[in-house]
Amino acid sequence: MSQLIPPHGAEKLNPLFVYDPAENERLRSEAHSLASIVVSSATAANAVMLGGGYFTPLTGFMNKADALSVAQSMTTTDGLFWPTPVLNLVEDAGDIKPGQRIALKDPNVEDAPFLAVMDVEAVETFDDADMKLMTEKVYRTTDREHPGVLAFNNQGKVALSGPIKVLNFSYFQSEFPDTFRTAVEIRNEIAEHGWSKVVAFQTRNPMHRAHEELCHMAMERLGADGLVVHMLLGKLKPGDIPAPVRDAAIRKMVEVYFPPNSAMITGYGFDMLYAGPREAVLHAIFRQNMGANYLIVGRDHAGVGDYYGPFDAQTIFDEVPDGALQIEIFRADHTAYSKKLDKVVMMREAPNHSKEDFVLLSGTKVREMLGEGIAPPVEFSRPEVAQILMDYYRSSAG
């Protein structure tokens, strides 16, 4: 059997979900007697990712020294390569003290059920300069108009750090039973498919024809036998297409336009940071942990607005120390349909083309067309995919 790529910084995955039913039940009942806090959505998403093994080899939430070190140099104080702080930030820790076990409650599910138990090792406060440093380093801006900056700075400045045990996967497992997968499950499924070289494609949007062709292109050039489409199922910014609609559109595309046993549709429970380059590196760690050999990184990967240059999320990988990551990056340019060549190409690979030679539509324009029940041109979007999106826009307008 082929050997899958090892997880990040460890020989085997370290999922923090309590899989033993009796132990899970025991911790749930213990949680009732513990001091509890309703955590932020970002903290809940971190807990879900820790639970699923995506944050291997971390054992819980970072302390102040590790968070600042990671922000500054992309390594923890003991030298683990990691691109973004993984924190449990609160406004006020109340009477919580180091050495105490507490229960973390889920802000995204009705009645805030217990999400995890945590053994608090430290309760530390970041000052304004610390918050500014982390924000600047991770997001490359302190502009509150940036949705990631706003979310990060709205949680509070008190960090509770220490190991956690995760009791459930929030709303992701119940709302997306066919799509939500832990890193453990994806590794197992890759092995079941018998794939030996796997490409991962990150998306928070439906996949148009250019995305589809980019996946085919990457698989062909890398000699890969499997593709994992890995969609973000967590909190997005207003105006983004909801996960169930994206899911249906992507499934239809794979069903019709990919050979059998060549692609898996999966999703993960995380809130988008919109942190551009730093988030691209985090995405690479997720994908290495789930068993992918390559991650496609395109233009403005994980970006928002004009905060990052089009290829910053690719060039940041030049700063990753040798050997720090085993996954490799497939660097993609903007892909579009060439009228001259009658196929989708990477724009940098199409000499003697002017803008007019490509079918280029802005996201805004596409949303307008779909909202009016007009299918985008077949060069831009597969008709089966466009139909699902038109139905969504029509129903949401009504």
For the segment 46-58, what is each residue's pLDDT rounded down to a tens digit?
A: 999 999 999 999 9
> Cα–chain-centroid distance for residue 307?
19
The pLDDT value recorded for residue 398 is 60
Residue 210 and residue 248: Cα distance in Å, rounded? Answer: 18
Residue with tokens 């995380």: 270
Q: Are 324 and 282 members of one domain?
A: yes
Global confidence as pTM: 0.95
Give the active site residue among 24, 28, 101, 204: 204
- Scanning 32-119, the segments in alpha helix (DSSP H) are 41-51, 64-73
Residue 110 resides in a domain: yes
**Do 362 and 235 share a structural domain?**
yes
pLDDT band at 239 (very low <50, low <70, confident <90, very high): confident
**CB-CB contact of 202 with 283 (8 Å):** yes
Of 139, 173, 207, which marks where a domain is finished?
Answer: 173
What b/e sequence results for 116-145 when a residue is b if at least 16 CB atoms lie within 10 Å of its CB, and e otherwise? bbbbbbbbbebeeebbebbbebbbbbeeee
Beta-bridge partners for 180: 267
Element (H, E) at 282: helix 276-289
**Highest mean pLDDT: which range of 139-153, 195-209, 371-385:** 139-153
Count up the domains in the chain and report the number: 2
Domain boundary at 173, 206, 221, which?
173
For residues 194 and 255, membership in a common domain is answered with yes
Which pLDDT belongs to residue 179?
94
Q: Are residues 70 and 150 in the same domain?
A: yes
Question: Is residue 132 predicted with pLDDT exceeding 60?
Answer: yes
10, part of any domain = no
- For residues 298 and 158, membership in a common domain is answered with no
Q: Are residues 60 and 165 in the same domain?
A: yes
The CA radius of gyration of the chain, in Å to the nearest whole number, is 21
Distance CA 303, CA 141 (A): 12
pLDDT of residue 2: 60
40 and 68 together in one domain:
yes
pLDDT surpasses 90 at 366: no
Residue 65 lies in a domain: yes
Q: Between residues 281 and 3, which one has the greater pLDDT?
A: 281
Residue 242's pLDDT is 83
Residue numbers of the domain that contains 313: 177-397
User: pLDDT tens across 317-362, in order?
Assistant: 999 999 999 999 999 998 999 999 999 999 999 999 999 999 998 8
The reply to whether 164 and 181 lie within a common domain is: no
Q: Give me the count of residues in the chain.
A: 398
Where does a domain end: 120, 150, 173? 173
What are the two backbone dihedrals, phi and then psi, of residue 78, each rounded to the nearest 5 degrees? Answer: -100, 15
- The C-alpha atoms of residue 208 and residue 266 are separated, in whole angstroms, by 17
Choosing from 101, 205, 331, 367, which is the catalytic residue? 205
Examine the residue annotation and report whether 153 is marked as an active-site residue of this protein.
Answer: no
Which pLDDT value is given to residue 312?
97
CATH code assigned at 136: 3.10.400.10
Q: What is the CATH number of the domain that holds 284?
A: 3.40.50.620
Contact 234, 267 (CB under 8 A): no
CA 270 to chain centre: 6
3-state secondary structure (DSSP) of residue 56: coil
Same domain assignment for residues 250 and 222: yes
Average pLDDT in the chain: 95
Whether 63 is catalytic is no
